Structure 1
């Protein structure tokens, strides 16, 4: 296979995963948007977290909420839990890496807030503990995973939304996660601006 054919195969593979995701995830994605809009409309906030590339995606998502997405609007309340190096290193050093998000959710989360977690494997211990902390605070969880959801799936309750990308490759899962996050931003803006037709 030459290099151009290899690159073309990436586009075809990505298109296939996006089409499968569209079929599987459009309905729960709408539910996630409504959940987050409800939290924001009732003076709640969105907390987001992940590791590695998923941490970057969490940060990107919150930047779109606090800044703006495609249209001008008021800033929306959101915090990326993976951005404060003092908290991450203090909690990681004193309590362990598994606690870095759990303690922040316990400190910042309020009933009615939404925790958005991103984990391509669904097996990140620090993310799973964040979910447990969110449930302890009567928060909802929107989980973006892949690989059949891993250990995150069983932690979620009927009040939560699971967006599990139907693929096993990290790059494909992260590509769809980016699409899902942008769709969430657009959906929240559409509800805020009364533009849902």
Structure 2
């Protein structure tokens, strides 16, 4: 599923302009995933459920549903990024080169500027949403309203390690996008299972 849906579209020739860096679009998407997998930390620190519920916190079911939606939207965002790569990386280095600012975008067609702004707006909004929803979820876990299983905490931890590995190994742009998409798929299923377990409890 992941690889088949991540095929880039053909580029369109147009008058080239100095273009924005595609890494600046990919990093907020990865950071959105990072905010969600930070839940893993609660799996190994002490929790006694004595924390007071945060003021104005929404229901656990609503929080899980919103985070699941965030992950689905991240899947779509990574797909859009891949489809736009032939335009955004038209004058820079190849996508297999290490993910590094200034390496990938030099000459971008005029229509690529609008694509870049659209992608940046979408992933920036996702970063804000996922950060807020993750914060709410961690609060629900800390006060004992939600008790993920050890396996679920482990799944968050494994996803976190995959993200960390991208930076530790200086992964290429293409690898970072594909891995981000795979993690978004994994987290979508994980959060859906958590919501189903919570609602059915």
Under a length normalisation based on structure 2, what TM-score does the superposition of the two structures give?
A: 0.27
Larger Rg over CA atoms: 2
